[in-house]
Amino acid sequence: MKAVDPNATLAEIRIMLAFLKEPDLTEDEICMTVLDLTDRIEGLDHWLTIGGFLPVAWAGPRLHVAPMTTLN
């Protein structure tokens, strides 16, 4: 997986989310945007999982969050 710029990635995610709220999108526009959005989210998740730094917009006091458990 390529290196992630978490600041740029978060900005791209926010742009895509705003785009998906636009009226009259075609099915192709929605599908392509959702695929791109999924790639960005997966990349950011991987970056954070391996210990990468948070995007500046998310910086601040960090709270300890217990790891997620799997549901049975």
Tell me the pLDDT tens digit for each residue of 7-63. Answer: 999 999 999 999 999 999 999 999 999 999 999 999 999 999 999 999 999 987 766
What pLDDT, on the 0 to 100 scale, is given for residue 4? 87
What does the DSSP assignment read for the chain? Answer: -----HHHHHHHHHHHHHHHTSTT--HHHHHHHHHHHHHHHHHHHHHHHTTPPPPGGG-SPPPP-PPP----
**Which pLDDT band holds residue 67 (cuts at 50, 70, 90)?**
low
Show the domain range for 28.
13-54
Structure tokens of 38?
A: 């999924």
Residue 41 included in any domain: yes
Within-domain flag for 61: no
User: What's the structural domain count of the chain?
Assistant: 1
Distance (Å, whole) CA 25 – CA 9:
23
Do the domain assignments include residue 25? yes
The answer to whether residue 29 sits within a structural domain is yes
